[in-house]
Structure 1
Amino acid sequence: MLYDEIENPGELTPEEVHAQYVAELAETVESVGVDDVVAATELDRETVESVANGEKPELTLEDAAGILATGDAPPKDTILLEVRDHLLMGMTTGVLDIDTLASSIDSDLGARALQQKIEGRAPMTLEEYALVHHFIADRNDRD
């Protein structure tokens, strides 16, 4: 479910982590069906079809959770809470503050914007999530 399906995310690149998220979403769309995913989410058919084809459309973490929730996963809100909890726990385990995280990932996000995204007060793209998840996992692997 976005964070526990990837074995050793710290050993991958952020791009590889993102690709694995997209593959997980594609599997869900394949098993549920494009029509049912479109009906159950706020995503348009073109976006869902591109996910099914393994392409990497710009998706938010909320979009991804919505897709997963159409399958055997828990509801979207539960997925989002678990993902955010996982990030915050990873930061705690790695003794990682938001300023260090923001300055360490390959992104233009400042600490305040990143904190809002991690806490769910601002939308986070799946690609941004991959960057953050990868960095936290890598940091925790080194400690």
Structure 2
Amino acid sequence: MKSGLRDTLLALQAETRLITDKDNEMIGYTTVGTNNMGQATAFYDAILKKAGAIRVFDTERFVAWGRGKGAPAFGVIKPFDNKPATVGNGVMMALALASKASVDALHAKALELGAENEGEPGVRQGGFYCAYFRDLDGNKLNLFCQN
């Protein structure tokens, strides 16, 4: 890559600050749906302990494991729409962003491009700031920041 283009891209990235500083991680967490939270958490507690993961989030609807606060995580969730969990229902990708402004901007852009709003930007449990949308194929995505 020519140095002029590289410098321009680096300057643009620094200006837009769409990703976090921490190792430039983009994926924050993933989820799979469950119809039996007790069974699912016992299963994943056993498996993920062997991977060096601990529970990093634990509610009645959603439990997640990771290698520490702020690290990418894997979770099981009771689907928000209260329909049975199936392959795909309860599955969501969460993209870690650097700021509330980034969450707001990307959510607005997704809606502008035809995405379906699944949750306005705002603070959720524990100061977690996020927004939700379904892409053009119906896949659910979450945009979030932890600051």
TM-score range, shorter chain: under 0.3
Greater RCO (CA < 8 Å, at least 6 residues apart) = 1
Counting helix residues as a fraction of each chain, which structure ranks higher?
Answer: 1
Larger Rg: 2
Q: TM-score, normalised by structure 1?
A: 0.27
